[in-house]
Chains A and B, each alone.
Chain A
Amino acid sequence: MKKINTPLNDKDILNLRAGDEILLSGEIYTARDQAHKRMVDAIKKGSRLPFILKNAVIYYCGPAKTPKGKIIGSCGPTTSSRMDAFTPLLLSKGLKGMIGKGARSKEVRSVIKKNKAIYLLAPAGCGALISKYVKSAKTVAYKDLGPERITQLEVKNFPLIVGIDAKGRSIYA
C-alpha cells in the first residue's frame, strides 16, 4: 500500500488510480455541512478562511465527543454528496483532497479532474476503528458549530481507498 503525506503534492496524486489503497499521514481538517456553508460564504465575501486551503485535505466528519483519556471519540466519514454543492469553489481555491463516503456528482468529478485533486473513501461506519489512526485533535474554527466545527486531526497511516482520481476516474462508475 502506498504511503501518502499531507499537504498533498501533484506528484503523489497523479500516480494514484481509482481503487488504489493508500495510507495517509499528516494533518487533515474535519468539515461537514455547516462548516462548508461558512467557508464558501467567507470566500464569496473575501474573508479569510480558518486554514490554508492550498494542498489541504478535508475530512467530511463530525466526531463524537472525546472520552476521558482518549485523543478523540468515534470519527467516521459522513455522506460526501451533501458537500457537492460547495466543493467546486473550494477546489478552485486550492483544496487538494477530500475524504468521505459514497459517490460524488458529475460536476464534482469533472472539477476534481480539472484541478488535479483527489477524493478518498474512508471505512464507512467504522468510527471507533478510525479513531485509532488519529494521533492528535485540535479545534481550529467555528467552535459554535459543536460537532460540525473545524478540527485539525493529525492522522497516521489512515487506510483509504481512492474514490475519484486526478484524471476523474471513479471507483463507482
Chain B
Amino acid sequence: MKIIKAEKITKTVADLCLKANCVLRKDILRKLKSAYKQEKNSRAKKALGAIIENARIARKEKLAICQDTGLPIVFVKLGQDVRITGDFKKAVLKGIALGYQRGNFRESIIQDPLKRGKSSYKGAIIHIDIVRGNKLGLTVLPKGFGCENKSQMKMFNPTAGIEEVKKFIVNTVKSSGADACPPYVVGVGIGGSADYAGFLAKVALLKKIDTKRSGLERDLEKEIGKLGIGPMGLGGKVTCLAIKIESYPTHIAGLPVAINISCHALRSASATL
C-alpha cells in the first residue's frame, strides 16, 4: 500500500498544466519539423515555419502555445494499491486552477452551458481507470475548442463496411477544412458504445504520433493527404500529422465511430507518482 497525499496530486497537476500548455510535445514537434522539410508549397511552408517558431517562443518565454488553453481533460491511472489521503477530485481541480493561474492562461470555462455567464478556471473532465500496482498516473490534455467543435460521431449499421467508415473519417476532416488549425491529428474511436467511442477517440490523441501505424491508419493518412487542405488551409502536402485509431468490442447490432480532431498544437503532459 502506498499513500499519496492530495497536496502532492495538486502540485503535480499544476505542473502538468504548465508543461502541457507551454512545451509542445516532442513527437508533435518532430513531425512538424519533418513536414516543414518536405513541404514544397511556399505558403504552406511559411505557415509550418510560423508554427515551429511559435512553439520555440512559447517554451522560451513560458507563454501558452495557444491562447485557447482548452478544457482540461485529465486521465488518471490509479493503482489499486494506492491510498489517497484527502479529496482526490478536489485535489485535481485545485491543481488545474493553480496551474492555469500560474501560467496566466485564459479563463475559458463557464459553469452553465446554456446561460453561459462568467468564465473561470473551474472545471475539467476527469477519466479514472483503476489498474494493478501502487502507482498513480496523471495525464493532462488541454483540449482547445476550435478543433473540439469539429468532433463527429456516428452509429453505423453493423453491416456497414470498412469503406463507409473510412469515408466518414475522411469527410469529417474535409468538413473541418481550414477552421480548426490544420495540420490535424485525428483521433478515432471505433466500437464500444456511443459514449465510449467518443472517449476512445480522445484517448487516441494521447498516443505518440510517430509510432508504428496500422494498415488502416496508413490508408487514411494517404486519403486525408489527398484533400490538399494543408497547414492553415493554404494547400500543400500536410493536412494531417497523424491519425490514431483505438478500437474496442461492440454489440452485434452496431458499429459506433467517433472522431476527435486535434489542431496542430496537440498538447499533453504526464507524470507518475
Contacts and interface: CB of A to CB of B under 8 A. Distances in A.
Given A79-B149, A132-B57, A147-B108, A74 B65 contact: yes
B165 interface: no
A62 B104 contact: no
Contacts of A128: 54-55, 57-58, 61, 63-66
A123 B50 contact: yes
B176 to A, nearest CB: 9
Contacts of A123: 47, 50-51, 54, 232
B79 interface: no
A74 B118 contact: no
Interface string B97-127: 0000000111110000000101100000000
A79 B50 CA distance: 18
A171 interface: yes
Nearest to A126: B54
Interface stretch (B155-163, B178-186, B217-225, B253-261): B178-186
B64 A73 contact: yes
A138 interface: no
A75 interface: yes
Given A74-B64, A125-B51, A171-B234, A66 B179 contact: no
Contacts of B177: 102-103, 172
Contacts of B66: 74, 76, 125-128
A108 B179 CA distance: 15
Given A125-B54, A125-B264, A76 B67 contact: yes
Most chain A beta carbons < 10 A, residue from B43, B61, B232: B232
Nearest to A61: B67
A99 interface: no
Contacts of A132: 57
Contacts, number: 128
B106 A67 contact: no
Interface size class of B (residues with CB under 8 A): 35 or more
A42 interface: no
Given A64-B67, A127-B67, A147-B106, A103 B178 contact: yes
Interface string A153-173: 000000001000000000110
Contact of A65 (B68, B104, B232): B104
Contacts of B106: 62-65, 73-74, 147
B233 A172 contact: yes
A62 to B, nearest CB: 6
Contacts of A70: 61, 63
B160 to A, nearest CB: 30
Contacts of B263: 124-125
Contacts of B107: 65, 146-147
A136 interface: no
Contacts of A61: 67
B35 interface: no
Interface string B149-175: 100000000000000000000000000
A79 B64 CA distance: 18
B10 interface: no
Nearest to A63: B67
A152 to B, nearest CB: 17
A35 to B, nearest CB: 13
A139 B178 CA distance: 30
A80 B179 CA distance: 8
A10 B43 CA distance: 26
B70 to A, nearest CB: 12
B146 interface: yes
Given A34-B116, A146-B107, A147-B108, A124 B181 contact: yes
10 contacts: A65-B107, A66-B104, A74-B67, A102-B177, A102-B179, A125-B65, A126-B53, A127-B54, A147-B67, A161-B234
